[in-house]
Homo-oligomer: A and B are copies of this chain.
Amino acid sequence: DFLSALETDIKPAFGSNEEVLDSYIGTGIIIWDESVQNVLNAGELCTKTLKSPNCDGIFTMLLEGPPNSGTTALAAHMCKNSGFPFVKICSPDEMVGFTETAKCLAIKKIFDDAYKSELSCLLIDDLEGLMEYTPVGPRFSNAVLQVLRVMLKKNPPKKRKLLTICTTSRASMLEEVGLFPVFRVVTRVNNISTGKQLVHVLLNVNDTFSQDDLGRIEKEVKGKRLWIGIKQLLAICSILGQIERHERARFFLEHLEEKGFIRDDLS
């Protein structure tokens, strides 16, 4: 029937859960700033709390940051490091074409599955995507919002422990729709905003820029407003391979400015 059909449907098409986690983590986490480490620490603290013997029930954490800032990769990293026997991902890209009701039941099912294990960890990625949120209107699936609200509040059966790590790039929307009170810990993820952070990332992308180029880039950025997500930055870096080595720095800086990632105004 429908529910057993669901079970198959939401199983990712290309591999085990571990592999899916890895696909969300991508090329790995670059600790380009102290704030990145803080986020990882918060995840570890929540994990240890729930593991401790005198604690049970549900514990809900939210990672929030701008689009492309890396919230998904960080959350997947936490899930992987939790060492919980049951780890599952709830992501909109596994529910494309579902009706609203099917989506609600699929979400409920993920929780019900988690209840079966004593120690479970759920990554609920892209809350606004799950709710099909659009700021124009605004529009979103109230049914999905309500299921999330109810399931994130609901106590698991006795002696069950459930850690849920959610991500969003629309924290203010969650606030407005009244979903914030269900989160026990809310942690902020940031975009790259200083030349030092930028260079830290570029150094990790192997052999793209010379030491001179890096110096020039850091100098150029100084005194301007920089604001770029790690995902977008890594994508731009991948283009650079097609550019002559001696033109890369100029191309890179021009591109960032043209597309608005660097702005002159400091006011």
Contacts and interface: CB of A to CB of B under 8 A. Distances in A.
Nearest to A112: B13
Interface stretch (A28-36, A79-87, A136-144, A215-223): A136-144
Interface string A90-103: 00110011010100
A54 B241 contact: yes
A16 to B, nearest CB: 13
Contact of A55 (B46, B137, B176, B241): B241
Given A99-B101, A238-B49, A135 B93 contact: no
Nearest to A46: B239
Interface in A142-169: 142-143, 145-147, 149-151, 153-155, 157-158, 169
Contact of A134 (B54, B105, B142, B154): B142
Chain multiplicity (copies): 6
Contacts of A101: 97, 99
Contacts of A105: 96-97
Contact of A92 (B49, B135, B150, B232): B150
A135 B13 CA distance: 37
Given A14-B157, A92-B146, A184-B232, A52 B241 contact: yes
A242 interface: yes
Interface residues of A, number: 63
A104 B97 contact: yes
Contacts of A49: 238-239, 241-242
A209 interface: no
Nearest to A155: B23
A135 B48 contact: no
Contacts of A149: 129
A5 interface: no
A179 B67 CA distance: 10
A266 interface: no
Interface string A168-207: 0100010011100100111000000000000000000000
Contacts of A134: 142, 145-146, 177-178
A68 interface: yes
Contacts of A13: 157
B68 A181 contact: yes
Contacts of A14: 157-158
Contact of A158 (B23, B104, B177, B184): B23
